[in-house]
Amino acid sequence: MMMETEWLRFTEGGQAYRIKARYGMDYDFARRHNQDPSFSVTGSIDELRRTRWVDYSGGAIHDDIARRFPRLEPYLKWHLVAWPSGPMHYLANAQYWWEKMAGVSKWPPQPGEPDPAEAFASTVVLGALPGDAMPPADPGAWPQVEAWLKDRLPPLMEAFRADMEDLGVIEHAGV
């Protein structure tokens, strides 16, 4: 169930803007494509030019959304987490970023690539569970990290479900 905020007007540097956020679980898209529904939070910003609004920015503009819609900030961490399967490509993406952190990746660094530790944390929604801590980035430790990730997935998904219920965007049939 997708939801949308009202437009919120604001001014920065003397320029008028408006922002709105769209968030929720896109069940319709998931049903059409035979996949688990994913939670997403995206936004649109328009700029007032003379007398009309013009597209200015949009997409996963989470910093802007958190600043203007603080009630959505606690849920931003769940962007692209699917119910009930979990974060998008949970183990594969985690391994990719963990190997970059550990210096054992076969993939060379790319221009503009995020910090591997930050990307790993985002990929696995690190901090969503009590006691979450960054695993060691020691070469050869991937089997232990993988086991940890598998063990934490069920409680991670329970925390996700609870937050989605709190936000009011999860369907209860089959949950």
pLDDT digits (tens, 9 = 90+) for 134-148: 999 999 999 999 999
Q: Which residue has the higher pLDDT, 174 or 80?
A: 80
Between CA 165 and CA 1 the distance in angstroms is: 11
Please report the DSSP string for 148-175 in residue order: HHHHHHHHHHHHHHHHHHHHT----TT-
Between CA 26 and CA 31 the distance in angstroms is: 9
Amino acid at 84: P
Please report the DSSP string for 28-65 in residue order: HHHHHTTS--BEEEEEEEEEEETTEEEEEEEES-HHHH
* Residues 20-39, mean pLDDT to the nearest whole number: 95
* Residue 19 CB neighbours (<10 A): 22
* Residues 73-78, mean pLDDT to the nearest whole number: 97
∠ CA 132-134-137, nearest 5°, is: 155
Give the model's pLDDT for residue 173: 52
Environment class of 151 (CB within 10 Å of its CB; exposed 0-12, middle 13-18, buried 19+): exposed
Strand partners, 22: 4, 42
Residue 120 has pLDDT above 70, yes or no: yes
Residue 8 has pLDDT above 90, yes or no: yes
Assign 3 a pLDDT band (cuts: 50, 70, 90). very high
Give the model's pLDDT for residue 171: 82
Strand partners, 11: 16
Between CA 81 and CA 62 the distance in angstroms is: 15
Assign 175 a pLDDT band (cuts: 50, 70, 90). very low
pLDDT digits (tens, 9 = 90+) for 35-61: 999 999 999 999 999 999 999 999 999
